[in-house]
Structure 1
Amino acid sequence: MAAVLNGFSYTGHKQTITLDWKSILKKCDDFSGPVNGFMFIDFNSIIEQTCPRDTFFDLIGQIVSVRPLETSNPVASKHYVKLTLSNIEYVHLKVTIFGTQAYQLSQYLKENPDGVGQAKSHFEVTKMFINSDIVEINEYKKSITSLQSYSSSYIDDFKGTFPLKTICEITEPLKEMKFLLVASIVNIRQNLHWYYEACYKCGKKITSVSKHNHSYTDPHKITETVVVQCKDPSCNNSDFRTVIKYIIPINVQDGTGTIGLTLFDREAKRLLDIIAYELKKIHEAAGDSDALFPMQLNVLKNRKFAFLVDITKYNVNNYNNIYTILKLTEDVSIVSELESKLELMSIESVSLNQVPLESDDVVQSVQKDVISQTDESFTPSTVNKSTATTQGKISTDLKRNLQDIYDVDFGDDLSSTKAKRKSIGEETPLLIPKVEK
């Protein structure tokens, strides 16, 4: 039970109970219902303003930053402290706490400078629990603790059984596979969408469909409206709503070439520390075109990562070599370890390929087109397979200019989704054997 103060109730019920001097209260020792009756809400729904209006809800999160208590107002109830809460998905929500709760939180943080405070409250913060021994907070603590094991398993994927590749080896989507790649992000591709509208429940891209509306007054009159819905029919109920998610098209480069990858919402949020909805609002407020990516994305450039990349069935069937990033890490130890493996692979490759040649033998180079992607274009490049696609010649110096590696040949093969043609260099003469009779 809780008192109704200032016309606000902690529950969604409009009914109230009036107690007088004849009322008898007795503690219930076997109550099976929820003790606090929490109704938690997702941080994104508050940030994107899709949460229910004119109602109450609860938040649970980890305090990641807090400002000093502000006491300049002479009225103590208007003293406040500003803080930032983070949920398990690393979404940050700014919260302001007033009055008694502000002093309560400040005192707790002062006494526990190395501790982590968990906060749970109405959005306007009329009630607050700090590390209380209740089921909901204990479960949340366990989920935070499990993040370490999640992080460990996340990193394990870069030390597991996935093959390590270079870009020149995977320019053609010949089969479905997952592989590791060490490369630097060199640019974000223009004139492509960097966000999309997704279903709030399943995260899939929504579709626009036409809906026919019949007039009640005129049965022959039919109007048509466009509505959005999820591809999964089970999501299209009264609670259906959309969220903005990242789909950032990037180019990455290693010592053997450049290729396009797609960076999706989970990894993008970790790198940018801002959700797509907020960045879209900033971009629109600046009056920038949707065809241009926000300047905030430039922080991704010139950073070296280890990528876990997926060549999907779609890539193979459509011969599309724009692959999906499943995971990435900037951990120096992991990147260095993978680069060392590449060096070892190159040395082993040289040893295997060293064979004696007779003086009369002629080695003719076989060339193969790969795609070289720069800021605004896709350009086919003719790569000498004996030098560029041999592991012995792979350089890990990612600052190396591509023009030092490739002889650019502007041919007909301009699409990154079309089959590459096998070719013989124009400067390589065909050898006609002389037959002596």
Structure 2
Amino acid sequence: MSNFFVHQNVGSYKILDNPYKINLHKLIAMKVIEKFCGSIHGFRFVSFPDMTNGKVENNTTVDVIGKVSGYGDVIIGDKYGSPNQRMDVQLQDIDGNKMKVTFWDPYVDDFKAKFDNDKAVVNVMIVKFAKLREWRGIFFVSHGFNVARIFMNNNIDEINAFKKSFVDKNGDEVANHKMISLADPSTKAFFTNIKCVQLFELDTIFELITLYENIFPNSETSPYNIHVATSCVAVATIHSIETDQPWYYIACRKCSKKVTTNNPEDEIEVVGDVRKNKKTTHDCPDCGPDVNVISRFKVQIKLKDESGAASLVFFDRDVVKLIMKTAHSLVDKCAGAESYPEDLDAMIGKKVMVKFDVTQFNLNNSYQVVSRMTQEEVMFKTFYKLSMIEMYECRSSTHRSNMLVSMVEKCSSYAKVMNMLVVG
């Protein structure tokens, strides 16, 4: 390579810890050589303990290598009104130290493609130009902007040497150990003080709560306390979208609460010698008047499992996860709430686990709101264990229905007796 410029390597973020950098331009001359002496990739590996012990400067990049010991699902988010994606991968070094690697956006697709195409018994990954980061005292690495490069099970000296050293020290059993699933920490809240249900149970639960309200005026003695939310979790498949309901709302950009729109079309304001209509403003109940707004999803969805069906409301975070598009982009595309976007049909047929709260407001308005949603297979398995689906499957659906009908009839009879005693 000839006819290039050399400048000082200044700035707060440096890809390489070198005082100089090469700048390329259109008059540069390059020649491909057949043989090269030295390291082709020039890896500069840093050990996991050195990264967690503060021996790495914040303004430089590092190269990391390790066995892929676990990975999580793709987490869909919303950044400045556009969807983004994140995925966590766990690396393990020869000594058993672990380091989390977080990939964003195109690097998620790059990792998934390479992992699926080049999967091996022992999966070794190199991330070149990784960036060490810290969040609440926990160290992890991510890719350094758009310069990082992922190597997965490539036939290169560094990966082959790591595989051999890992097997020599830990043995084939540890090296071939099944990878763990890294569940998103927020999904742990699914199984806190909840009732695992099948959809056919919901109507019965709602009826029981209403009956118990009449039977037990003192909420402390009632098996179901309507004044305290009853959290339910169910696994079901999205059957259809209720297109007769609005599918989005105008929200405060800061807190996502629904705003009140002030549209003074007939009001005129005078600025100097110019007369013009007053601008439309939006008031948020929490953040105050004249806030910045954005469109957010609020979609009424019908779910079905093997036992029955139920209608629940999915909000922005969960809909974006399912279709990888934002409400803002679909509103611009459809030009109004009256036009139903076919993009929402991408949710139909997907299996989900949902958490929702049964409250007095929900009972009165037939309005069930999904508070959490996941598509992680490990969460489905946990649900099946907790809800003892194996036991339910041994019984016919008719028998299960008769049991619940009998329960409701007994409660109804008891309520009538109680009312008669009160009247008498």
TM-score range, shorter chain: 0.3 to 0.5
User: TM-score when scaled to structure 2?
Assistant: 0.45
Say which structure is richer in strand: 2
As a proportion of its length, which structure holds more helix?
Answer: 2
